[in-house]
Amino acid sequence: MVKIDLILARHGETSANAQSIMQGSLVNLPLNELGRRQASALAEGMKDRNVDWIVTSVLDRAVETARHVAKYHPSVPFTCDERLNEISWGEADGKDMMTVDPIVKPVTQGWVSGDFDAKIPGGESANECKDRILAAFASILNEARKNKHKDVLVCIHGRIMRVIMAALVDKGLRTMERFTHANCCYHHIQVEVDDDEQTMPDPWTLKFEVVRIDVRDHLMSLQKPRI
């Protein structure tokens, strides 16, 4: 068996985050000034940690965040995978959260109650996210095993982090909301995979262990002092 450590990091802040705009896969913005500082803080926190491979979605905010970390690990491979993109919020994407709450809230409440096929018109369901995430992680684990990458940074998005943690750790989607996150926080999980390269890993059947959840230690210097 081969043990693989996965650091699941959320991207830094964008103008959409700052302005409470729905930001799914249909919105592709760079980091704002605070987001760049958050990404730098994440990079500082990761600079002395072993990193064998960096994987990110193809969306600019995730790639830019991961590039900050890569400055301290310039020799490691860097891969972008569209299967790791944020969920699509369909017709709610790019709109003010308060304005679209009447169409978003019934969907997210449906997920909590077990209706994982619920989705916003033109958007993506929790089940659809889960399916592409499981496929992406099968590939990630397979490549990590073949190339002996024991420490993998995966830079992604908030809702996708919830889907990953619920699906891989809890083996379901009902618990998505228990996993909190902030921009440039990370979850650290571990998994053991069979070292037989003839067998494609099935993430659904593997036991993912939690090391730490919602790690924000590296972001403490960015917090505003209390008055």
Give the C-alpha separation, 182 to 223, whole Å. Answer: 12
12 is in an annotated binding site: yes
13 is in an annotated binding site: yes
pLDDT value for 200: 85
* 46: nearest Cα among 134, 175, 151: 151
226 pLDDT band, cuts 50/70/90, is very low
212 is in an annotated binding site: no
Average pLDDT over residues 97-118: 96
10 is in an annotated binding site: yes
Average pLDDT over residues 176-186: 96
pLDDT value for 114: 96
Q: How confident is the prediction for the chain on average, in pLDDT? A: 95
Predicted confidence (pLDDT) per residue in 80-96, tens digit: 999 999 999 999 999 99
Give the C-alpha separation, 196 to 142, whole Å. Answer: 10
Give the C-alpha separation, 192 to 32, whole Å. Answer: 37
Average pLDDT over residues 185-201: 90
**CA triple 76-77-83, angle to 5 deg:** 135
* 160: nearest Cα among 51, 63, 56: 56
61 is in an annotated binding site: yes
Percent of the chain, pLDDT > 90?
Answer: 93
Q: With 80 as the cut, is the pLDDT of residue 218 above it?
A: yes
Q: Dihedral sign, CA of 114, 25, 15, 226?
A: positive
Cα 21 to Cα 33, 92, 163, 180, 209: the distances in Å are 17, 9, 20, 19, 33
Number of continuous H segments (helices) and E segments (strands) in the chain: 6, 6
Average pLDDT over residues 35-48: 97
We find that the CATH architecture of domain 2-222 is 3-Layer(aba) Sandwich (3.40)
pLDDT value for 222: 87
pLDDT value for 195: 83
Average pLDDT over residues 102-125: 96
Only one residue has tokens 């650091």, namely: 7
By CB atoms closer than 10 A (0-12, 13-18, 19+), residue 86 is buried
> Which of 198 and 119 is assigned the larger pLDDT?
119
Predicted confidence (pLDDT) per residue in 141-172, tens digit: 999 999 999 999 999 999 999 999 999 999 99
Q: With 60 as the cut, is the pLDDT of residue 224 above it?
A: no
Give the C-alpha separation, 40 to 19, whole Å. Answer: 22
Give the C-alpha separation, 86 to 100, whole Å. Answer: 18
227 pLDDT band, cuts 50/70/90, is very low
Which residues are part of the catalytic machinery? 11, 86
- Length, in residues, of the chain: 227
Q: With 70 as the cut, is the pLDDT of residue 225 above it?
A: no
